[in-house]
């Protein structure tokens, strides 16, 4: 069960005739309410929800360490209180139930076909999912050669003579 914003798993893959840079730039230019590009690389983009929430894994780890040290210090004076050590895990719980939007999209040239393979994976909000579906549907499909037929005679194997 996930609390917070409603997201759903998002996965997509397609081949297009556009260059990888054009695909990623087109995605970056799409206005999506509440969503921004949180990271950009030469062959990928990561979309995430804009949030004023500053509670990150770094904060949770720091709080856990502070609680751990506090319990250890108190436990040195009263050893029965060491049973409170698991309380140091409590700062991680909000992160476990976080279902914020985050989708990674990559665009790379497929070495076999020369076309651009676009893949997307992550947790998407309804607005992001609809926007990505519309953009991917607008991409021109690549002319991918059909695989060799099984009925075609195989080339003779070299005999090594």
pLDDT reported for residue 55: 76
Structure-token pair, residue 157: 């194997």
CATH class, range 8-51+100-138: alpha beta
pLDDT reported for residue 131: 85
| pLDDT band of 69, cuts 50, 70, 90 | very high
CA distances from 79 to 60, 66, 67, 69, 84 (A): 26, 18, 16, 14, 10
| Sign of CA pseudo-dihedral 85, 91, 92, 96 | positive
Distance CA 138, CA 92 (A): 41
DSSP letters along 29-53, please? HS--TTEEEEEE-SSEEEEEE----
Structure-token pair, residue 121: 């994976």
- Residue 108 or residue 150, greater confidence: 108
pTM score above 0.75: no
Domain ranges of the chain: 8-51+100-138, 57-95
| pLDDT band of 2, cuts 50, 70, 90 | very low
pLDDT reported for residue 28: 85
Q: At what angle do helices 20-29 and 126-138 cross, to 10 degrees?
A: 140
List, for residues 6-48, the tens digit of each pLDDT value. Answer: 778 889 898 998 999 999 998 888 887 778 888 888 999 988 8
pLDDT reported for residue 73: 94
| pLDDT band of 3, cuts 50, 70, 90 | very low
At which residue do the structure tokens 């500053």 appear? 54
pLDDT reported for residue 68: 94
Distance CA 32, CA 128 (A): 7
Structure-token pair, residue 78: 């009263």
List, for residues 40-52, the tens digit of each pLDDT value. Answer: 889 999 888 766 5
List, for residues 81-135, the tens digit of each pLDDT value. Answer: 899 999 999 998 887 777 677 889 999 998 888 899 999 998 888 888 888 888 8
């Amino acid at each position: 069960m996930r609390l917070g914003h409603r997201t759903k798993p998002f996965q997509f893959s397609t081949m297009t005739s556009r260059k990888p840079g054009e695909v990623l730039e087109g995605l970056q230019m799409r206005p999506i309410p509440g969503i921004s590009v949180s990271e950009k690389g030469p062959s990928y983009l990561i979309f995430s929800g804009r949030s004023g929430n500053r509670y990150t894994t770094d904060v949770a780890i720091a709080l856990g360490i502070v609680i751990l040290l506090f319990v250890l210090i108190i436990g040195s004076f009263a050893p029965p209180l060491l049973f409170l050590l698991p309380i140091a895990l409590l700062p991680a719980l909000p992160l476990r139930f976080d279902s914020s939007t985050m989708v990674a999209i990559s665009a790379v040239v497929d070495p076999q076909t020369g076309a651009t393979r676009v893949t997307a994976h992550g947790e998407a909000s309804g607005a992001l999912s609809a926007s990505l579906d519309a953009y991917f549907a607008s991409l021109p499909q690549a002319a991918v050669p059909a695989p060799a037929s099984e009925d075609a005679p195989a080339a003779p194997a070299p005999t090594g003579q």
